[in-house]
Amino acid sequence: MKLVKKVKKPDICRMEILDPQLQTYLETHCDPEPEALKKINRDTYLKQLKPNMLSGHYQGRLLSMLSKMVQPKLVLEIGTFTGYATICLAEGLTEGGKVHTIEVNREQEDTLRNNFELADVQDRIELYIGDAQDVLFGLSENIYDLAFIDADKKSNLTYFELIIDKIRPGGLIIIDNVLWKGKVYGDANDTDTQLFRKLNDTIAVNTQVEKLILPVRDGVLVIRKK
């Protein structure tokens, strides 16, 4: 009798869509994770209910590099969690620059402020606690050089539409999780997957911007405003 080898299907429950060995290789061939971020990474996995929401080493270095390339004066972040990505984005700020970051969960405030002090970026970060849409309406006077969207996924398209006019020409919008565990290009048809497909499809035909999806972790959409 001929034995048929079963092919293991990818685990769509994990955030990384890449092969774990490739992910490890990438992390060992980029800049090392700063010590403060190592501690935040470790503490997040020890103390938070959903630690996989953390950007992590490789994606963090990507955010840092993009920020350093843009050299922003003002950064907008929607969804702070434990502040890992916030600190990475702050690495590229010009002299006197600020990251305006919005976190809905008030229970995270003490953790965030402690983490910002640990990384010595507390003077470069303006933390807002509250509903992102409410906070955004109060920031109408600001024009941002870079924005990172990594909050409640059902509102991604709404956030994009709310901030596109707040981004300067040549500025970037970065949206996380756009490959949605690989489900957007598969047969899945649940509500969340449909929302991500709508987001990606809408931005793909938007003539105000240039766009590129990078297969980093769960998919990172990099958008440049023309």
pLDDT tens, residue by residue, 102-154: 999 999 999 999 999 999 999 999 999 999 999 998 887 789 999 999 999 89
Separation of alpha carbons 150 and 80, rounded Å: 8
What is the predicted pLDDT for the residue at 126?
97
Q: Is the pLDDT of residue 226 over 70?
A: yes
The hierarchical CATH code for the domain 20-225 is: 3.40.50.150
pLDDT, mean of residues 73-96 = 98
Q: How far apart are CA 37 and CA 43, in angstroms?
A: 10
Distances (CA, A) of 98 to 76, 121, 195: 9, 10, 31
Asked whether residue 159 carries a pLDDT value surpassing 60, the answer given is: yes
Mean pLDDT, range 196-217, rounded to an integer: 97
pLDDT at 183 over 50: yes
Q: d(Cα 181, Cα 164) in Å, to the nearest integer?
A: 26
Is residue 8 pLDDT above 60, yes or no? Answer: no
Per domain, the residue ranges of the chain are 20-225
Tally DSSP H helices, then E strands, for the chain: 8, 7
Per-residue pLDDT at 15: 65
Is a pLDDT exceeding 80 seen at residue 11? no
Please, which pLDDT band fits residue 194 given cuts at 50, 70 and 90? very high
Cβ–Cβ < 8 Å for 73, 93: yes
pTM of the model: 0.91
Strands across the sheet containing 144-149: 125-129, 98-103, 74-78, 144-149, 167-176, 220-225, 209-214
